[in-house]
Amino acid sequence: MDPLITKAQLAARLHKDVADLDDATADLALYTSSGIVRGLTQQTISFVEHETVLLGGATQKLTLPQRPVAVDDDHPLTVVEVGDFGGLDLTLVEDRDFTRLGNELTRGQAWSQTSRLMGWPRTRVLGVWSPRVRVTYSHGYTEIPGDIVDACLDAAVPCYQNPTGLRQRSIDDYSETFASEFLGAALVANLKVKLGLLGRRRGAWSVTPG
């Protein structure tokens, strides 16, 4: 998967020209920092089209694992309740069988006391997803938001400057101390705080791809 930042962005943060960067070290910094941010957020972030996931149901609300969810004519949201033990699969329709808010899907309740249901067969429990639900959806950003780029650069700079992760190194009478070892506890803590304050570690969003 492509990194979330570019060499040009890394060079700008380092106040260097792109041509002055060491390519191998820069590539390492881009991929490593992107992996760190993806790991902390548990999100792919980059745009992914038509991914199919099998989710556990048996609850009224179903949360899609990746966000933001992108839904338009080219990126439909397909939700299928998987039939158990040879039962038939049931394809559901948004705003008839369920409602969607961001990446949260809520199964339909009864419409009236006469037990008219939002798509449910009469033998099933009201307002509860089946035990297994198969969802095909698109998610992520076609253009990485600036706050995520900033968080990636916070991790990429020390990775580029200190790719071996040393705190200090000495050669004969020469000694060099780095400001911080790469991926130290302080850096990880700061990234968690930044991503948490930005809402990138929780919440729900829905977008239309640009």
Residue 69 is predicted with a pLDDT of 97
Q: What DSSP character marks residue 46?
A: B
Higher pLDDT, 11 or 172: 11
pLDDT digits (tens, 9 = 90+) for 81-113: 998 887 899 999 999 889 999 999 999 865 554
Rounded mean pLDDT, 56-68: 94
Rounded mean pLDDT, 60-87: 94
Residue 200 is predicted with a pLDDT of 65
The SS3 of residue 135 is strand
H helix or E strand, kind and range, residue 171 = strand 168-171
Angle at which helices 23-41 and 7-14 pack, to 10 degrees? 100
Residue 65 scores a pLDDT above 70? yes
- Residue ranges in 93-137 assigned as alpha helix (H): none
> What is the value of pTM for the model shown?
0.78
Q: How many residues does the chain have?
A: 210
User: Identity (one letter) of the amino acid at 108?
Assistant: G
Residue 154 is predicted with a pLDDT of 93
Highest-confidence segment of 44-53, 110-119, 158-167: 44-53
Residue 46 scores a pLDDT above 70? yes
Residue 53 is predicted with a pLDDT of 97
